[in-house]
């Protein structure tokens, strides 16, 4: 018999297609994303999705965006902690995956922010995510230039490979730092 759930790092039986917000934990997200490699591993060195998310949050802060936008950027790939990632060229063909991913990502944002993203919040996050993708891939896929432009970044993204436990810890510290700032009340 096939299970409809995964068992998370925090030992939750979690159904990705029907997410229960009570079973979504920042510790699961930080742990899993610190172990997942960007670009399905097709880069010159290990570079985690957690580190990418940290870079996005730091860029949002450097651009002077609110703590809420920083948290949105930190969590923008959090669904991948539960369903992994599929490369953009393939994801475009997987309508059901996109529905599950959106439902899960909305549950994550609702859990930590109180609501899903507004269109303005999504646009700010998406711009940073795309700018960071171009920058990171230019530095981490040195065998081939993938983009014709270089985005203007206001931060200094960290690209060094680090131990996953160190990245996990930094992710959690960043999350709690944003929450402690009191900007995100009660979440």
Helix 49-62 × helix 119-140 angle, to 10°: 120
pTM: 0.92
Task: Express each pLDDT in 89-123 by its tens digit.
Answer: 999 999 999 999 999 999 999 999 999 999 999 99
Least Cα distance to 60 among 10, 124, 149, 146 occurs for 124
Task: Express each pLDDT in 141-163 by its tens digit.
Answer: 766 666 777 899 999 999 988 89
Higher-scoring residue by pLDDT: 78, 145: 78
Is residue 185's pLDDT more than 60?
Answer: no
Mean pLDDT of the chain: 92
Length of the chain: 187
Torsion of CA 44, 139, 83, 108, to 10 degrees: 150
């Amino acid at each position: 018999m096939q299970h409809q759930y995964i068992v998370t790092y925090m030992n939750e039986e979690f159904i990705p297609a029907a997410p229960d917000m009570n079973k979504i934990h920042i510790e699961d997200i930080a742990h899993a994303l610190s172990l997942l490699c960007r670009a399905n591993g097709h880069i010159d060195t290990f570079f985690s999705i957690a580190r990418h998310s940290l870079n996005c949050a730091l860029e949002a802060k450097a651009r002077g965006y609110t703590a809420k936008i920083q948290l949105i950027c930190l969590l923008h790939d959090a669904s991948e902690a539960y369903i992994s990632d599929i490369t953009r060229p393939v994801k475009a063909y997987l309508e059901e995956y996109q529905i599950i991913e959106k439902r899960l990502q909305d549950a994550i944002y609702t859990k930590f922010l109180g609501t899903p993203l507004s269109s303005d919040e999504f646009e700010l996050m998406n711009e940073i995510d795309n700018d960071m993708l171009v920058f990171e891939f230019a530095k981490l896929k040195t065998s081939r230039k993938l983009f014709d432009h270089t985005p203007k970044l206001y931060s200094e993204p960290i690209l060094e490979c680090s131990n996953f436990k160190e990245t996990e810890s930094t992710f959690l510290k960043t999350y709690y730092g944003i929450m402690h700032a009191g900007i995100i009340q009660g979440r």
